[in-house]
Amino acid sequence: MTSYIIRRLLLMVPTLIGIMTVNFFIIQAAPGGPVEQMITRLEQTEVGALSRVGAGAGGGEISGPSAGDSSGKSTYRGAQGLDPELVKDLEKLYGFDKPMLERYMMMLGNYAQFDFGESFFRGRPVTTLIMERLPVSISLGLWSTLIIYAISIPLGITKAVRHGSKFDVWSSFAVVVGYAIPGFLFAILLVVLFAGGSYFKLFPLRGLVSPHWEDLSLIKQVLDYLWHMVLPVTALSIGGFATLTMLTKNSFLDEVNKLYVVTARAKGLTERRILYGHVFRNAMLIIIAGFPGAFISLFFTGALIIEVIFSLDGLGLLGFESTLQRDYPVMFGTLYIFSLLGLFIKLVSDITYTMVDPRIDFESRGS
């Protein structure tokens, strides 16, 4: 197993380089880069200032200092009329005075040292921005995943054991309805009902902790943190029960009908011993296989709207805002972290396979 883990770790390097390479050249070719974003901001600021000056001067026609300078042609949309030297300064500010291939090689070298640079528009190191928002994303992703698995697996097993009963029918109806309700809609409903919207004010509406959290004792800090997590985690988890519950049920039903179960029953083993001693280990393999995808989805992408509704400044919101602003250092920094964690979690999933079922040997397959 050791040699397999080493091979997988070595394979992560070209995989990560491939992910970053494809995204680098796609994003670089997309219009509306950081230089164009700043040009738009400068034009909006200048137009606003000229409008105020024009209104104070009685509506006379006022021209900006660079409005008539159209001698230099620029490849940037909206740069017509701006001083070419200003455009060159913006290119140098954001590193676009260098060829694309050189920028790409610099990015790979810096990212190998976990140096993600500074945000274009926030003026702060990307690592600091990610670390500040990481607790929110970890809290939402971890608690939601644990709750979904803690409820869905026992529910799926019970549905498999009682297949075709009234409990099976009504529980299937309930989980499908929960799956059909969008998470953001359920979040709004929770806010209206329990966060002081129209009825009760039982839970806070915003933030991960209270403003006076640092002044509380350790026990009260934990309770305050959990108190803030109730509504967003509930809203994020509601749509995750259906898939995992039905997957667990179908996996157990598929295993129950196999020959080794019939043999175990013929030997006189109890149903409980058969279910948890033989069926459980085999049926749980497919559940474990889906854990990395479920965790990554909730950890990084599934919480964006939930973060907005409950005013939680997490990685999902950071990545979304950075994409709109074309803040390349933050975009590539978060992509690098997401990809790296995803690859490691996939490796952990494979290791967990062997822990659940020692008959699985990835090392011999790799050879």
Pairs from 160-169 (Cβ < 8 Å, separation ≥ 24):
160/248, 160/249, 160/250, 160/252, 160/253, 160/256, 161/252, 161/275, 163/249, 163/253
Residue-level pLDDT, tens digit, the chain, 367 residues: 677 788 888 888 899 889 888 888 887 777 666 666 676 666 666 555 445 444 444 443 333 333 334 444 555 555 555 556 666 666 666 667 778 888 888 888 888 888 888 887 788 888 888 888 888 888 888 888 888 888 888 888 888 888 888 888 898 888 888 888 887 888 888 888 887 766 778 888 777 888 888 888 889 888 888 888 888 888 888 877 887 888 888 888 888 778 888 888 888 877 778 777 778 777 777 777 666 666 666 665 557 788 888 878 888 788 788 887 788 888 888 888 888 887 887 787 777 777 666 666 666 655 4
Tell me the three state secondary structure of residue 99. Answer: coil
Environment class of 65 (CB within 10 Å of its CB; exposed 0-12, middle 13-18, buried 19+): exposed
Tell me the three state secondary structure of residue 125. Answer: strand
Going from N- to C-terminal start, the domains of the chain cover 34-93, 127-366
Q: Are 278 and 357 in contact (CB under 8 A)?
A: no
Match 């300064």 to its residue by tokens. 89
CATH assignment of 127-366? Answer: 1.10.3720.10
Environment class of 14 (CB within 10 Å of its CB; exposed 0-12, middle 13-18, buried 19+): exposed
Q: Are 326 and 34 in contact (CB under 8 A)?
A: yes
